[in-house]
Amino acid sequence: MLDSLFHACVPPYLQGRVAPSQTVTLRLRADRELDLLGVFLRTAPEGEQLMTPARRAGQEGCCQWWEVAVELTVPRLAYRFMVQTDQGTWWLSAAGLTRHTPTDATDFQLLAANPGPDWVPEAVFYQIFPDRFADGDPASNVRDGEYLLDGRPVLARRWEDPPTPGAGAREFYGGDLPGIVDHLDHLQDLGVDGLYLTPIFTAPSNHKYDVADYEKVDPHLGGDQALIDLRRALDERGMRLVLDVVPNHCGVEHPWFRKAQADPDSPEAGFFTFHSHPHDYACWLGHRSLPRLNYRNPLLLETMVSGQASVLRRWLRAPYNLDGWRLDAVNMVARQGGIQAAHQVGRAIRRAIKTENPQAWVLGEHFFDGTAHLQGDELDGVMNYRGFMIPLWQWLVGSDLEGFKGKPWGDRSFLPTASLAAQWLAFRAAIPESVSLQHLNLLGSHDTPRILHLAGGDRRVVQVAAVLLFTWPGTPCIFYGDEVGLGGGGDPEGRFPMSWDQSRWDLQNLGFFRSLCRLRRGNQTLSRGALQILLAEEGTLAYLRESPGQRIVVVACREGASGQVRAISVRHGGIPDGTLFRSALGGGTRRVQEGCLEGVPVAPGAEIWIEDRV
């Protein structure tokens, strides 16, 4: 019964307003049959340990509740529970229940200051690679051979042509911002209410991470006016807009770099790190076309980040009014050799953005462990590769990202279900729970193979992944075309142009994604509710999402899991016998009997069971 001990930093386990100097009530749930001798709240707001006794607050259904009040006297309150039983003393932290004393690093955390944007947890995002989404203005298209990129002429392709291996960033299809405006009805009908665009500022490549001008939208994408028009069109539909900015490096065509190479005494020369001027310089992962920016230089920091007219601040103002930034390669910003200023620059980035708009989203690209930047004073969240997508891939299709890339350290074996749950929970336990709700969860992006490709073309596997995407804490994001069955491996196949020929769409898949979008939007349990793993064994994963007045049980089974688990034990989730659940996907109802819910789908498959209190 010890597995029934549970707490989360959200209602109904938290009562009161999380703000400086406010008093909140923290609640711990346990099975009513579990004999608890005492419960203490452990905090250390001034460094010295404080042990505050909790009181037993009564019983409800199959649960007993313990409560303790605490005043938020510090910007970030870290705490855990000590639970006394006849089996000895146990500790409950964000990492779970342990018999040994855990480190403070896994304490529950409340952020009394620096909360993330209120709107993010309830949003559903859609990622667009602009050159490959829709061509709204053919007159602005890159012409075949219009200029040279890396010494070779650029290529103009027909929309229906597949990407050419080896052409890379030189290949253009003509997608632009007017094309996005033309297809907002599709996105609104799908149910998304936020767009994330990969870079749109002037650059010679199709991906535009080689920025040549941070101050102008690329004319081949429609220019500044096209961004204004997109903003207006989104406002009419109540939709958000987040753009991709590249703070770690620029392109060799940027005037800053040209001036730096031409004159070692120029102010711009300090924007870069030259080992030997002018041709030996720090660059992104050895790509000489992408010189890295040097944030030891105060003028660069002012120009990019902190100044009144800085790149990060100007686009947040009218008429563009961006709702946030996705910061490319944030794991590398201000980290060069002996200079490790990532956190100082990270905090400066947050201050600059929040000065313009406290509700702007500060989202980072981080393929690894970004938890050090996710403590409430830097990033609001990250693209959740390592804490969601990569372990999901390995559990579902049997390889991590490095395995698919053919790296010698890649793992091309199935991740055990218990290990999937452990990795997901470990990345959540290392940060405040409110921050975990600000992540952008995804099944793939412009940097990865598409989920349909990974699934071997099996729509059922894609839909298992989609159910987990839309029910796990964090903001779900669809990569353009996934909803209609667009396939493709890694770059360039994964960046195939969006098909607008509906006869080629997978309409069943589109309907499935549409139903998930509509289920997610406005559902407080899925957007802000508590999370508890109920079962992680064999090939089946089940978890509970809970808010005041509603419980949702999610069950997912990978290929080969049929018959391994017949029912899900739910009593340790505080769910009493007689509780009725209805299916959100396949219809039908199930009632909890003898502590179990019989609602395991045929594998590969997933089900969402919503408590029916009518």
The encoded tokens of residue 84 equal 């006394």
pLDDT tier for residue 36 given thresholds of 50, 70 and 90: very high
Q: Which of 210, 365, 433, 483 is catalytic?
A: 365
3-state secondary structure 168-189: HHHEECCCCHHHHHHCHHHHHH
576: domain CATH number is: 2.60.40.1180
Helix and strand tally (H, E) in the chain?
A: 15, 38
pLDDT, position 159: 97
- Using DSSP bridges, classify how beta strands 287-291 and 339-340 pair: parallel, antiparallel or unpaired: unpaired
SS3 of 213, please?
A: strand
Going by C-alpha positions, the residue among 341, 424, 382, 330 that lies closest to residue 116 is 382
Q: Does residue 147 lie in a domain region? A: no
- Average confidence (pLDDT) over 417-433: 98
Query: Around 150, how many Cα atoms within 13 Å sit in the side-chain half-sphere?
Result: 14
Q: Does residue 432 lie in a domain region? A: no
Following CA atoms 212, 215, 221, 224 in sequence, which dihedral angle do they give, to the nearest 10 degrees? -160
pLDDT tens digits, 480-523: 999 999 999 988 889 999 999 999 999 999 999 999 999 999 89
Which of residues 111, 145, 174 is at a domain's end? 111
Can 328 be counted among the known catalytic residues?
yes
Which of residues 288, 316, 350 is at a domain's end? 288
| Whole-number percent of the chain with pLDDT over 90 | 95
Helix, strand, coil shares of the chain as percentages rounded to 5?
A: 30, 30, 45
pLDDT, position 87: 87
Q: Does residue 218 lie in a domain region? A: no
Q: Which of 193, 253, 328, 400 is catalytic?
A: 328
34: domain CATH number is: 2.60.40.10
The encoded tokens of residue 439 equal 């992540």
* Number of domain units in the chain: 3
Is residue 114 pLDDT above 80, yes or no? no
User: 593: domain range?
Assistant: 526-611
The whole-angstrom separation of Cα 217 and Cα 215 is 7
Q: Does residue 51 lie in a domain region? A: yes
- Average confidence (pLDDT) over 52-71: 97
Which of residues 83, 111, 139 is at a domain's end? 111
Q: Does residue 56 lie in a domain region? A: yes
**581, 610 contact by CB (below 8 A):** yes
The whole-angstrom separation of Cα 401 and Cα 449 is 9
The whole-angstrom separation of Cα 153 and Cα 148 is 4
Q: Does residue 129 lie in a domain region? A: no
CA 237 to chain centre: 23
The whole-angstrom separation of Cα 278 and Cα 256 is 13
Q: Does residue 299 lie in a domain region? A: no
Using the structure block, give the residue that is written with the tokens 């297809």.
Answer: 183
- Average confidence (pLDDT) over 168-178: 97
| Whole-number percent of the chain with pLDDT over 70 | 100
pLDDT, position 562: 83
Using the structure block, give the residue that is written with the tokens 């009394």.
Answer: 112
pLDDT tens digits, 295-343: 999 999 999 999 999 999 999 999 999 999 999 999 999 999 988 999 9
pLDDT tens digits, 151-167: 999 999 999 998 888 89
pLDDT, position 182: 98
Going by C-alpha positions, the residue among 173, 201, 5 that lies closest to residue 84 is 5
- Please state, rounded to an integer, the average pLDDT across all residues of the chain: 97
pLDDT, position 212: 98
Q: Does residue 514 lie in a domain region? A: no
Can 48 be counted among the known catalytic residues?
no
What single-letter amino acid sits at 123? A
pLDDT tier for residue 587 given thresholds of 50, 70 and 90: confident
3-state secondary structure 458-517: CHHHHHHHHHHHHHCCCEEEEECCHHHCCCCCCCCHHHCCCCCCHHHCCHHHHHHHHHHH
Using the structure block, give the residue that is written with the tokens 């597995």.
Answer: 3
pLDDT, position 417: 98
pLDDT tier for residue 613 given thresholds of 50, 70 and 90: confident
pLDDT tier for residue 113 given thresholds of 50, 70 and 90: confident
